[in-house]
Amino acid sequence: YSMEGIRSSWGQLLTAAGRAINETENQILIRDSKGLSEDQIREYRSSFSHFDKDNSGKLDKNEFRACLLSLSYKLGSDPTDDPVFEKIWQDLNPTDALVTFEQFLDFMTKAMVDRDTAEQVMNSFKVLAGDKPYITADVLKRELPADQAEYCIKRMAPYTGDGAVEGALDYQSFSSALYGQSEL
């Protein structure tokens, strides 16, 4: 080993270590700013990298679609005529018709935020109702913005179960109906 060879190897090692530190810092910033867990970021990074066949750090339209499908994102079955995917692609508006990992994370973060479940909504109403199986119009008016409270009051059926009080509303059936699990 020559001194020049050792210096060169040392420089490469420092560069690699610097890149690893930068990547770790970026992941921490992404996690903190987007509200994603390390496991979610790792899953998204793994899927993104798997479909980034040319290792460019970007996905073309077909790679992006395949990546979404691998993450169980609901798309149409016809890759050549899928209005759901086309809308996503247009909204994403990737530069150079390629999606960066940052754009991909932004999309997945927004998609996750929009995926409230009936159970999450029920749990929120349960907290507002003080763990009761019903909620009252007064509580809704006090805790929600006026337009949201009125929307809920108009659409919630009367609660007729155990312990019902006058004016009790059924937030459980409302939450299920809101997410298509039953009829409003």
DSSP string, 80-127: TS-HHHHHHHHHH--GGG-EEHHHHHHHHHHHHHT---HHHHHHHHHH
SS3 59: strand
Q: Whole-prediction pTM value?
A: 0.49
CA-based nearest residue to 170, from 137, 121, 133, 118: 133
Number of H helices, E strands in the chain: 9, 4
d(C-alpha 171, C-alpha 120), whole Å: 12
CA-based nearest residue to 44, from 70, 23, 21, 25: 70
Torsion of CA 136, 137, 140, 141, to 10 degrees: -140
pLDDT at 135: 93
91, 137, 140 from 153: Cα distances, Å: 34, 6, 8
73, 136, 172 from 166: Cα distances, Å: 43, 9, 17
d(C-alpha 89, C-alpha 87), whole Å: 5
pLDDT at 182: 46
Element (H, E) at 38: helix 38-51
pLDDT at 117: 65
pLDDT at 113: 58
pLDDT at 5: 92
pLDDT along the chain (184 residues), means of 10: 92 92 72 68 89 91 90 81 86 81 85 65 87 92 88 92 90 80 46
